[in-house]
Amino acid sequence: MTQTVLEHIFAGKIIAIVRGIRSSKMIGLAKALERGGIPCIEVTFDQSDEEGVKDTLRGIEAIRASLGERVCIGAGTVMTPEQVRQAVEAGAEYIISPNVDEAVIRETKRLGKVSIPGAMTATETAFAYQCGADIVKLFPAGVLGARYIKALKAPFKHIPVTAVGNVTVDNCAEFIKAGAIGVGVGGNLVSPKLVDEGRFDEITSMAKAYVEALNYEA
């Protein structure tokens, strides 16, 4: 399953980051993203309180129960090994964190799932990969820029990286050209306002725009 998930992530080039969306809206949102050509969805943990954590897990479970293997579902902002276990039990196939935490990475791999920790520096990137990360999330990509990612990839050609943070339709292809295997996109794609108002067709249209931009060479 791990290899299949990695193949999905590499082929799709984009992970939709779902943040601040209630679990009751998850199925409609996931279907809208899938219609737009984005099957990889990261539901981020709301770390503000226990109810937020529980609702994150309900959201993952809802997408898995409704769409099954049609989407590749992961958990984001995973901060502890316990949250890794909770996310996997809910149906997450990959675990994404904003930082490099060896315990989180090793627990993810112990459970046979894909590990995508967040890093910024060369030291963090190398250490994450050494700990077992499958892909390293370079964050914040919008601040670092594509030139930074290109420079970092020079000594780290063997480490797959994604670009996350202020990735737009206009700049997403630049990160692929710089050497990233894909991008993660949050609010620029998954707008809480559009979700709340049920304007899922607009989210589908935005998803299609990102897919078209990322497959410019295809």
Angstrom distances, CA of residue 217 to CA of 110, 132, 141, 182, 211: 37, 31, 22, 14, 11
Beta-bridged to residue 145, according to DSSP, are: none
CA geometry: angle 92, 205, 149, nearest 5 deg:
60
* Secondary structure of residue 59 in the 3-state scheme: helix
Three-state secondary-structure class, residue 157: coil
217 in active site: no
Active site residue 137: yes
Token pair belonging to 48? 């503000």
Cα–Cα distance, 197 to 114 (Å, whole number): 33
Catalytic residue among 42, 61, 107, 174: 42
Q: At what angle do helices 50-67 and 81-90 cross, to 10 degrees?
A: 30
Q: Which residue among 34, 137, 153, 174 is the active-site one? A: 137
Instruction: Give the residue numbers annotated as catalytic, written as ranges.
Output: 42, 137
